[in-house]
Amino acid sequence: MSVSIQDVRHALDELGKLRFGEMRVEEAMHQIVQTTHAIFDVDGAGLMLADVDHHLLNAAVSDERMRHLEELQVHHQEGPCIDAFEGKELVRAEDLTQESRWPSFSKHAVARGIGAVLASPIPYNQDAVGVVAVASEDRHPWSAEAELALLAFTDLAALLIASMLMGEQQTELAAQLQSALNSRAIIEQAKGVLIGQQGLTAHAAYTQLRAQARAERRKLAIVSAEVVRNAVGENLQVWRNGFAADTP
């Protein structure tokens, strides 16, 4: 079965009622995932949200296969959902048995029954707070209709999350997401430092920060703050030395 525009329109009409109902955000997320799973020709669907260390953790999943997706990406520090979250763009993986972008993740994902993934970042204030993803057990060429459908479901999830974050009632989930957004700024600054100092790409800089945090068993935001603080200290020392040299 392929995803049709009619199926997506009907599903979104039904899900649109969530915005005006009394359903809790967590329950609404589960409803989005279940509806996404139902209309896609896939074996699983899930909605992941970032924590303070920018690990993508499941907020709602359709089945056990999607729980593996979270576990594998956190463990191997790579995967399509991480790339979608970091790059803030749709990421498609049609055949993980032939995938070279995430060699460690792909090998173990296939062993867990995940053969293809389509992941879309959830936007919030020009940033990303999570990912909506669908997975297939076998190779799966993602159609343009499927991509548009997933983007539509992602936008609905974004509306729900924005409503939650701007609401007066601070739930545990809202606090988790706010912490993730707060830490994002210092992580981005640290990436900028490494890009400037070492000529790395943004992705390589982020990978290096994650690897350091993991090796030292410290939080990513703390490691990032240290990188920024050291860079500021070095620049200040250079300025002082230059000022002293110019002073008669």
Q: Please provide the average confidence, as pLDDT, over all residues in the chain.
A: 84
pLDDT in tens, 28-38: 788 888 888 87
Q: What is the pLDDT of residue 1?
A: 45
The whole-model pTM stands at 0.79
Q: What is the pLDDT of residue 162?
A: 82
- Give the Å distances, CA to CA, from 246 to 237, 241, 243: 14, 9, 5
- Do 121 and 93 belong together in one domain? yes
Distance CA 241, CA 238 (A): 5
Q: Which strand (E) or helix (H) includes residue 6?
A: helix 5-16
pLDDT in tens, 178-232: 888 888 888 889 999 999 999 999 888 988 998 898 889 888 889 999 999 998 8
pLDDT at 234 over 90: no
Q: What is the pLDDT of residue 5?
A: 62
Domain that holds residue 48: 5-166
- Do 79 and 37 belong together in one domain? yes
**Sequence-ordered strand ranges (E) for 19-167:** 44-50, 56-61, 91-93, 116-124, 127-136
Distance CA 115, CA 136 (A): 6
Q: What is the pLDDT of residue 169?
A: 56
Sign for the pseudo-dihedral over CA of 24, 25, 26, 28: positive
Do the Cβ atoms of 130 and 50 come closer than 8 Å?
A: yes
- Do 23 and 95 belong together in one domain? yes
Q: Of the residues 142, 166, 190, which one is the last residue of a structural domain?
A: 166
Q: What percent of the chain has pLDDT over 70?
A: 83
pLDDT (mean) for 135-151: 89
Output the domain CATH number for residue 113. Answer: 3.30.450.40
pLDDT in tens, 41-78: 788 999 999 988 888 999 999 988 888 999 999 889 89
pLDDT at 130 over 70: yes
Q: What is the pLDDT of residue 19?
A: 57
Output the domain CATH number for residue 237. Answer: 1.10.10.10
Three-state SS letters, 184-236: HHHHHHHHHHHHHHHCCCHHHHHHHHHHHHHHHCCCHHHHHHHHHHHHHHHHH
Q: What is the pLDDT of residue 172?
A: 80
- Do 83 and 153 belong together in one domain? yes
- Do 159 and 179 belong together in one domain? no
Q: What is the pLDDT of residue 191?
A: 92
Looking at 2-6, 27-31, 153-157, 231-235, which range is the least confident one?
Answer: 2-6
Number of Cα atoms under 13 Å in the Cβ half of residue 120? 21
- Do 152 and 192 belong together in one domain? no
The DSSP call for residue 41 is S
The structural domain count of the chain equals 2
Looking at 47-56, 84-93, 159-168, 219-228, which range is the least confident one?
Answer: 159-168
Instruction: Give which of 119, 125, 182 is closest to 159, Cα–Cα.
Output: 125
Of 112 and 236, the structure prediction assigns the larger pLDDT to 112
- Do 19 and 94 belong together in one domain? yes
Q: What is the pLDDT of residue 17?
A: 61
- Do 178 and 149 belong together in one domain? no
pLDDT (mean) for 74-83: 92
- Do 145 and 178 belong together in one domain? no
8 pLDDT tier (thresholds 50, 70, 90): low
- Do 159 and 218 belong together in one domain? no
125 pLDDT tier (thresholds 50, 70, 90): confident
